[in-house]
Amino acid sequence: MARKASGTSKASSKATTKAAAAGKPAAPDGSATSRGGETHQVAQGRQPALTTNQGVVLADNQNSLRASTRGPTLLEDFILREKITHFDHERIPERIVHARGSAAHGYFELTKSLSKFTTAKLLTDKGVRTPVFTRFSTVAGGAGSVDTPRDVRGFAVKFYTSEGNFDLVGNNFPVFAIQDAMKFPDFIHAVKMEPDRGFPQAGSAHDTFWDFVSLSPETLHMVFWAMSDRGIPRSLRMIEGFGIHSFRFINAAGESTFVRFHWRPKLGLQSTLWDEAVKLQAADNDFHRRDLFEAIQAGAFPEWDFGVQLFTEEEADAFPFDHLDPTKLIPEELVPVQIVGRMVLDRWPDNFFAETEQVAYCPANLIPGIDFSNDPLLQGRLFSYLDTQLSRLGGPNFHQIPVNAPKCPFANHQRDAHMQTTVPKGRVAYEPNSLDADSAPTGRESPARGYRHFNEAPGDGGKRRVRAESFADHFSQPRLFFNSQTPQEQAHLLAAIVFELSKVGTPAIRERTVAQLRNVDEDIARRVADGLGMAAMPAVIAPAAPAFDMAPSPALGLVAKSKPTLDGRCIAILVADGSDGAQVDALRKAAMAEGAAVKIVAPKVTVQLKGGKALSADGQLGGTPSVLFDAIASVLDPAEALALSKQAAAVDWFRDAFGHLKAIAACRGTQQILAAGGIVPDAGVVDPKEVARFIALAKTRQWTREATLRALP
């Protein structure tokens, strides 16, 4: 041992001498580290020591242990093995649904006590700020998909309360597509990529989804929400959130009150147009995530009001629908939403994987004073979420290990997942379906032979696989939702259905979907059939329960909830060499005074304004399309404008903004670009000198323009 210590000392001394001879300082401890033949000083005292996961300080993190200078690497190099092994296992399975997500930290503050209804301190102690972690997500796409497809958005909030964690796990729609958790795997299998071809990714415009929809009329209410402009939101900061299900509040006396939860964005609701959403996917795959990140970094913290709908068992019994049916909402005209708190998101996660990816939400995470209802979908979610999180650390296919595998024939629609060792064939992985005639045969339920639970208490109180007759009406609320939209919103909804069904290759599925739509409204079905070019209307599929009319609910419209504001919006000003800097400043100051963010776009990264002043652009014209902004303006020298009128990027910049119904401030020179794009200016196109008029127009879309641009159903 003494000799080894002495040898180490000599080696250290030689390293010091060698470093000094090379004109480089030795490490403070007398050793020199070699990295690619170059000696570097270790800056001790300024940075923490690099260690293994076991806390062992590393002397060299650049070179593996070798038998000699050019010899083989040694297996005993525990530092190399730990580093490589950890790297090899850095990824975990992504979520089955809601894989693509963005999240932020913040706080919840109660503004009105609900102590009359619940003992939950979160909802009784006014003024207390409870930390939260909120995750927004798309449903259908994988973790690597884009932010802006037509889809449901998850809205999940984890409250870190003094009584434990409370998870409110919902969506930006108040209703779901199915009534019973038994159908959740079928619904998701149908909307996901078709199993025999692996596409489409993050889209519902395909056969298996609409096959399921056309065979499952309970889906139509949520489908209407998804096909409306709410399915393509402008920003995560501009969506509502809903708990979807009825829950129970329990007060100190043990009395129960039903509750439904609502989140209302302070910025109001706003969507994109379909063409805009399509182009956003090409312009910025991370549009929503970037918007949320930049808002928080800029101190424009996203905020939502928190509201509740409260009602008794007796009131629920009087509703013209069953409140335990998750495909039904409770109109606010029937039960008003009371605002009782607010949520502010003010801090971006420090590490995406450690927080946003690994956060685990579960509807079963409750605190005293809040309880479940008998909503059958909610009951299934209580199990599903925990199971999902467990599977992300392992895999659900353990039954395929030989010792676990059945010895009898088996067939179901479970597919894929970690360690899948069978090779399922065919297009269909859901039930009911109508596509297995040209695919591999699929399983069917067998009432005569199937397993049944023992019914200890015959009658309505016993355990049975059954749906209440009060769940049978699938069409009244889709009709209510449609009738509550503006004519433009109705046209967008129907155009979305026409587009999606146009992607369906099986004529029978298109016909069956239109047949189901006839139960909602004949005019809706006719307009969709006309959009698809159907020669004749398909026969009506007899509903389990006929639809009835309900008074339109303004609360269900998106345009009605839009705010004429520039808060949270972004305006672009196009400039080039020779632009009038004073006019640019006037537009910028006016827009920022109204709460808008302003970006400068130019053909070059830096331009010389009139008078010679240099101005740096926030984006180059070719890579900064107008779909990224809520309104646009241009201040161009006529000669520069003429040159730009011959560039496709400039023409498309204005043509897209005009087609997406945005306000445009176009100077005299810009008129040349508009003409090149075939744009005939309307009331939504003004001169940039009319600053106040442009700012007023920029607060809303120019809805009257749409009828002149595109034919809608």
> Annotated catalytic residue: which of 40, 63, 98, 288?
98
What confidence tier does 444 reach under pLDDT thresholds 50, 70, 90?
Answer: confident
Mean pLDDT of the chain: 89
The string of pLDDT tens digits covering residues 96-127 is 899 999 999 999 999 999 999 999 999 999 99
Residues of the chain with pLDDT > 90: what percent? 70
Nearest to 691 by CA among 618, 601, 588: 588
Q: What is the pLDDT of residue 402?
A: 66
Quote the CA–CA distance of 199 and 449 in Å, as a whole number: 36
The number of CA neighbours under 13 Å toward the Cβ of 431 is 11
The number of CA neighbours under 13 Å toward the Cβ of 522 is 2
Using CA atoms of 352, 358, 361, 365 in order, give the dihedral in degrees to the nearest 10: -120
Residue 577 has pLDDT above 50, yes or no: yes
Quote the CA–CA distance of 384 and 367 in Å, as a whole number: 19
Q: What is the pLDDT of residue 88?
A: 83
Query: Which one is the CATH code of 101-198+220-391: 2.40.180.10, 3.30.390.30, 3.40.50.300, 1.10.340.70?
Result: 2.40.180.10
Residue 431 has pLDDT above 90, yes or no: no
3-state per-residue secondary structure call for 99-122 = CCEEEEEEEEEECCCCCCCCCCHH
Q: Which of 9-18, 405-414, 558-567 has the lowest mean pLDDT?
A: 9-18
The string of pLDDT tens digits covering residues 267-293 is 999 999 999 999 999 999 999 999 999
Nearest to 105 by CA among 386, 431, 345: 345
Is 171 in the active site?
yes
**Phi/psi of residue 68, each to 5°?**
-160, 180
> Annotated catalytic residue: which of 171, 172, 365, 519?
171
Q: Which of 128-132, 272-276, 385-389, 519-523 has the lowest mean pLDDT?
A: 385-389
The string of pLDDT tens digits covering residues 14-23 is 444 444 334 4
- Alpha-carbon separation of residue 188 from 96, 140, 178, 371, 430 (angstroms): 9, 8, 11, 27, 9
**Residue range(s) occupied by CATH 2.40.180.10 in the chain:** 101-198+220-391
- Alpha-carbon separation of residue 305 from 173, 259, 341, 345 (angstroms): 16, 16, 6, 12
Nearest to 431 by CA among 419, 445, 420: 445
Taking CB atoms within 8 Å and a gap of at least 24, the contacts of 478-482 are 478/220, 478/221, 478/223, 478/224, 478/520, 479/520, 479/521, 479/547, 479/549, 479/550, 480/331, 480/550, 480/552, 480/553, 480/556, 481/221, 481/224, 481/225, 481/228, 481/556, 482/224, 482/520, 482/521, 482/524
DSSP, collapsed to helix, strand or coil, labels residue 396 as coil
DSSP, collapsed to helix, strand or coil, labels residue 403 as coil
Average pLDDT score over residue span 127-139: 96
Token pair, residue 170, equals 């919902």
Q: What is the pLDDT of residue 440?
A: 62
Quote the CA–CA distance of 543 and 21 in Å, as a whole number: 92
DSSP per position, 169-234: EEESSSS-S-SSGGGHHHHHHHHS--TTT---TT---SHHHHHHHHH-GGGHHHHHHHHSGGGSBS
Q: What is the pLDDT of residue 381?
A: 93
- Alpha-carbon separation of residue 393 from 86, 165, 386, 389, 499 (angstroms): 15, 21, 12, 7, 39
Look at strands 597-602 and 619-620 and give their pairing: parallel
The string of pLDDT tens digits covering residues 210-260 is 999 999 999 999 999 999 999 999 999 999 999 999 999 999 998 999 999
Quote the CA–CA distance of 179 and 176 in Å, as a whole number: 8
What confidence tier does 451 reach under pLDDT thresholds 50, 70, 90?
Answer: low
DSSP, collapsed to helix, strand or coil, labels residue 588 as helix
User: Would you tell me the crossing angle of helices 507-520 and 476-483 to the nearest 10 degrees?
Assistant: 80
The string of pLDDT tens digits covering residues 664-703 is 999 999 999 999 999 999 999 999 999 999 999 999 999 9
Token pair, residue 555, equals 């609360």
- Alpha-carbon separation of residue 205 from 221, 263, 317, 620 (angstroms): 17, 29, 38, 34
What confidence tier does 458 reach under pLDDT thresholds 50, 70, 90?
Answer: low
DSSP per position, 636-670: --HHHHHHHTT-HHHHHHHHHHHHTT--EEE-TTT
The number of CA neighbours under 13 Å toward the Cβ of 628 is 24
**Residue range(s) occupied by CATH 1.20.1370.20 in the chain:** 475-560
Instruction: Give residues with Cβ within 8 angstroms of 451, minimum separation 6.
Output: none
Q: What is the pLDDT of residue 239?
A: 98
**Residue range(s) occupied by CATH 4.10.91.20 in the chain:** 48-90
Residue 39 has pLDDT above 60, yes or no: no
The number of CA neighbours under 13 Å toward the Cβ of 611 is 6
Query: Which one is the CATH code of 48-90: 1.20.120.550, 4.10.91.20, 3.40.50.1820, 3.40.830.10?
Result: 4.10.91.20
Q: Which of 46-60, 454-468, 659-673 has the lowest mean pLDDT?
A: 454-468
Q: pTM for this one?
A: 0.82
The string of pLDDT tens digits covering residues 578-613 is 999 999 999 999 999 999 999 999 999 999 999 999
Q: Domain 566-708 is in which class? A: alpha beta
Q: Which of 40-49, 300-309, 368-377, 380-389 has the lowest mean pLDDT?
A: 40-49
- The fold adopted by the segment(s) 475-560 is Hemocyanin, N-terminal domain (1.20.1370)
- Alpha-carbon separation of residue 72 from 23, 88, 274 (angstroms): 32, 22, 59
